[in-house]
Structure 1
Amino acid sequence: MTATHYPTASLKPHRDESLLGGHLWIFSGALQQPPHWVEPGALVDVKSARGQFVARGYYNPRTDIAIRILTRHPEEAIDQAFLRQRIRQALQLREVFEPQETNAYRLIHSEGDGLPGLVVDRYADVLVAQTHTLGMERLLPDVIAALQAEVEVKGILLRNEGQARRREGLSVEAPIVAAGEVPQRVQIRENGVQFLIDPWQGQKTGFFLDQRDKRKALQKYARGKRVLNCFSYSGGFSVYAALAGEETRTVSVDISAAAIELARENFALNGLDAAMHDFYTEDVFDYLERARTEGQLFDVVVLDPPAFAKNQGARAQALKAYRRLNTLGMQVLRPGGVLLTCSCSGVIGLDDLLGAVSLSAQRLQRSVQMLEVYTHGVDHPTSLAMPETGYLKSVFCRVL
């Protein structure tokens, strides 16, 4: 094959080592000089200080991550054929899902699938796509065409409202149909459990797909128990828990009235009597304070909050919030009960979360047994060369 050439950006000496190790980011400080002649978002060839080809990616002078890598092969053009190949590769990994059991999953997980800045979630016969970077936005027409060619769906929805776009110089946009038709509600299957999702206005792209395996794992602890699901959203953990046994009773708490209503619908969709379970539209911290004051106790407590820290500057405050949340969760947990505690803050590591749990337990003079630890799940792969792209930590504990 004939090599394909793009404008060149040269690295400072020894700044190609992480790239050779598999990393996909080049920070602005690693460049010999910013390639001012290259249009923001355009494709560039990255060369070492010795002039050797290292990688190819897209460039944005507006961000600290100046270049995001797409390929290390000089003969590989970044075009629709390239995108189709990456999508096929991603689809092969998702073949682990039995379609009759699970028809909702993350199809493209950004750097984890070799397409930085792109997220695509599949909900039955609908795709919901997000672009977070200027370079991927410029490739979007080819991305949509490649998705249509490789995935049989009825519609593709673009949800480009993420605040990360502003850092890239992109606008935050209202959802828009990119291809076909996308209904207001989509019914999906996950491990045989049914859910209604709102692809237009729902949290993230409509559902928290990264907690699939944790919802399933919860069932063995929930059978016949009283389960509190905090930040319950559309009732994912609650529905799984209620399906674990007829004697199981759940309490779902979320500040969004629309989410609580959707949770009730999801109970009914799975043949569960919502009247046998409790639902509260309330701030979780307020609810936990009230439950503690009233002396309420649960056998299982699920703490799955939104990200408390979006960046390093919010890290200290986030750690305080995790400590407070886990302390409150333990205070309404029956001795010997199971706590599922989670963090989706990228700047909070597993050790940080475990430290928050440990400090909460020490404060309450309770001991903790760590039972199971989970990350994102098979459809949210991360590169070993880029541990910083991991974000989700979920830990099952027994609190004595």
Structure 2
Amino acid sequence: MNSHPDQPSSDLSTPAGQSQPLTLRTKPNRHFPFLSRHPWVLATAIADRGKKGGERRADASSKPSAGEREFVAAAGPADPPAETPELGDAVELLDHDGNWIARGLYNPASRLRLRLYSFSRNEAIDDAMFARRIDEAIGRRRLTTPSNLRETGERLIFSESDRISGLIVDRYADCLSVQFTAAALLSRGPLLIEQVLQAASKHGTPCQRVISRIDAATARHEGVTSGRVAEVESWSRGISLDQAVVPGSQESDTVWYQHNELKMAIDLRDGQKTGGYLDQQANHAEAARYMEGRRVLDICTYTGGFALAAARAGASEVIGVDSSEKALEMAQRNATENSLTQVSFQRADCFDDLKARRAENESFDAVILDPPRFAGARRQVDAALRAYARLNMSAIDLLPPGGILVTCSCSGHVSRADFLNMLVDAGRKRQRDIIILQSRGPSPDHPCAVSCPESDYLKCVIAQVQ
């Protein structure tokens, strides 16, 4: 009986006239995440490369014994060394025994050495595969969002969650904001952008403008040179990054779009992520339902997502705090554009601001916490949880009994259970009861791939503090 084509096999035969595929093997017992279709293969999971189809452990201090030399001489010349993959090469991933697992794209400069895209031996990593997955991803959004809302914002492609690791695409009205997080995809960059434009039009949200970017941290981790970054940015179209900001302008570094029935602007050039926080869009609207008539403090307001939604919902006063001058300028512009006069913005460090308000005996009916990612790696989780606890305890200090706490974490390495346990600890230390009204995740356009738990990153808790 023939084995199923997708099952692991040591048979790496190729059709006549084709070269053997490039292969990498995992270290012993390091292959299990990839059998579960996790797409990230770190360099530490890959065995040392040796002869083609195998590995050897390099040890310059050891020399072959006389018996080993005699065996090698009798065996004849050694096979040539295995070909070393280069950036963007398709590579077959095998377990330590040589059984086939998956196929991915290689980056020798990245700690994330191999990104897996195909878990079927019958599916090649080619232009057709990416075109198909892009179309599927944007079609997936139409399951939750109608196509007639063209002035809104939405995430069209979410990297691992849409089986296109290293590509994030957000739509703001008629503009695509494309962010590359994998250097191995850059050789296909213009093609991927064209495919996204075609699929967006097919699914009812045609776009005329494109901003393409790769942020500095990603470039550093992926080994992307400044020249290559400039090339990625040159793929933008319909966007002039030097003109003055004019609402509704078709040639500016700012794009205006509808965000929960508010007119919002995002900075395509210097904004965080792809310019805005579309993952919080539904949470902005839901949290606002609790804000009518309340005095609200929004910590880490960025461009005012929570603050402006609260003001529009009838909050009596809203103060937004952020450490970024540019973000606050954009937040104020958004408030003015929407004629929201009961909201103001102040520049300060989040921890220092909460401490100072406590010292002045200030009180708020609601406090919103939406800090940046505190844990960028697993080793930082404990420190991140301490920072979250400190921030939440400071917020609790400003709330009277019955006050509303909206607290968020976008750290993918901090689990929802860890985050809730942190709140338990914060309540215990402040001798206050925290009653969860809603425990939420990101907006529906940010799906989660169960094989990649890191894609379930956003936690948003709406609670009452007694």
TM over 0.5: yes
Matched residue of 2:401: which SS?
A: strand
1-side partners of 2:26 and 2:343: how far apart? 60
1-side partners of 2:167 and 2:173: how far apart? 19
Q: 1:36 to 1:185 in 2, by over 3 A?
A: same
2-side partners of 1:62 and 1:177: how far apart? 23
How far off its partner does 1:84 sit? 1.5
2:307 to 238, 252, 255: 238
1-side partners of 2:329 and 2:354: how far apart? 21
Corresponding residue of 1:40: 87
How far off its partner does 1:250 sit? 0.9
Matched residue of 1:157: which SS?
A: strand
1:156-183 superposed Cα distances (whole Å, 9 cap, x missing partner): 2122124133222223646824142123
Corresponding residue of 2:215: 161
2-side partners of 1:308 and 1:181: how far apart? 35
Query: Is the CA contact 1:101–1:192 (under 8 Å) kept in the aligned structure 2?
Result: no
1:148 to 197, 203, 213: 197
Q: Indicate the percent of aligned positions where both proteins have the same amino acid.
A: 34
How far off its partner does 1:368 sit? 0.9
Query: Is the CA contact 1:10–1:31 (under 8 Å) kept in the aligned structure 2?
Result: yes
Corresponding residue of 1:262: 330
Corresponding residue of 1:97: 145
Corresponding residue of 2:389: 323
Q: 1:321 to 1:12 in 2, by over 3 A?
A: closer
Matched residue of 2:402: which SS?
A: strand
Structure number with bigger Rg: 2
Which residue identity lines up with residue 128 of structure 1 in the other structure?
S
Alignment of 1:279-294 (within 5 A): 279-294=345-360
Query: Is the CA contact 2:117–2:164 (under 8 Å) kept in the aligned structure 1?
Result: yes
Corresponding residue of 2:339: 271
Matched residue of 1:295: which SS?
A: coil
Matched, 1:202 2:202: no
Query: Is the CA contact 1:48–1:54 (under 8 Å) kept in the aligned structure 2?
Result: yes
1:377 to 443, 446, 451: 443
Corresponding residue of 2:68: none
Alignment of 1:56-71 (within 5 A): 56-71=103-118
Matched residue of 1:280: which SS?
A: strand
1:350 to 416, 432, 437: 416
User: Which deviates more from structure 2 when the two are superposed, residues 366-375 or residues 134-143?
Assistant: 134-143
Q: 1:397 to 1:102 in 2, by over 3 A?
A: farther
Corresponding residue of 1:133: 182
TM-score norm. by structure 1 comes to 0.91
Alignment of 1:15-26 (within 5 A): 16-26=31-41
Corresponding residue of 2:237: 180
Q: Give 1 or 2: higher strand fraction.
A: 1
1-side partners of 2:306 and 2:33: how far apart? 39
Query: Is the CA contact 1:193–1:270 (under 8 Å) kept in the aligned structure 2?
Result: yes
In structure 1, runs of 5+ residues without a counterpart are: none
How far off its partner does 1:222 sit? 0.5
Matched residue of 1:353: which SS?
A: helix
Which residue identity lines up with residue 217 of structure 2 in the other structure?
Q
Q: 1:149 to 1:80 in 2, by over 3 A?
A: farther
1:101-128 superposed Cα distances (whole Å, 9 cap, x missing partner): 8621111111111011111111111111
Query: Is the CA contact 2:21–2:92 (under 8 Å) kept in the aligned structure 1?
Result: yes
In structure 2, runs of 5+ residues without a counterpart are: 1-13, 50-81, 201-205, 240-251
Which residue identity lines up with residue 216 of structure 1 in the other structure?
A
Q: 1:10 to 1:297 in 2, by over 3 A?
A: same
Q: Provide the aligned C-alpha RMSD in A.
A: 2.5
Alignment of 1:380-399 (within 5 A): 380-399=446-465
Corresponding residue of 1:224: 293
Corresponding residue of 1:171: 225
Q: 1:17 to 1:349 in 2, by over 3 A?
A: closer
2-side partners of 1:311 and 1:13: how far apart? 24
How far off its partner does 1:251 sit? 1.0
Query: Is the CA contact 2:298–2:318 (under 8 Å) kept in the aligned structure 1?
Result: yes
Query: Is the CA contact 2:110–2:222 (under 8 Å) kept in the aligned structure 1?
Result: yes
1-side partners of 2:172 and 2:419: how far apart? 31
Query: Is the CA contact 1:101–1:191 (under 8 Å) kept in the aligned structure 2?
Result: no
User: Which deviates more from structure 2 when the two are superposed, residues 120-129 or residues 57-66?
Assistant: 57-66
1:16-66 superposed Cα distances (whole Å, 9 cap, x missing partner): 543332222234454454365211331112345565543221122344433
Corresponding residue of 2:403: 337
2-side partners of 1:263 and 1:193: how far apart? 12
Q: 1:283 to 1:350 in 2, by over 3 A?
A: same
Query: Is the CA contact 2:328–2:346 (under 8 Å) kept in the aligned structure 1?
Result: yes
Q: 1:80 to 1:109 in 2, by over 3 A?
A: same
Query: Is the CA contact 2:190–2:235 (under 8 Å) kept in the aligned structure 1?
Result: no
2-side partners of 1:300 and 1:36: how far apart? 60
How far off its partner does 1:387 sit? 1.0
Corresponding residue of 1:364: 430
Alignment of 1:297-316 (within 5 A): 297-316=363-382
1-side partners of 2:319 and 2:125: how far apart? 50
Runs ≥4 residues deviating over 6 A: 2-5
Q: 1:387 to 1:12 in 2, by over 3 A?
A: same
Query: Is the CA contact 1:8–1:47 (under 8 Å) kept in the aligned structure 2?
Result: yes
1-side partners of 2:111 and 2:266: how far apart? 35
Which residue identity lines up with residue 87 of structure 1 in the other structure?
I
Which residue identity lines up with residue 209 of structure 2 in the other structure?
G
1:288-334 superposed Cα distances (whole Å, 9 cap, x missing partner): 12211222111111000111222234333322221111111011112
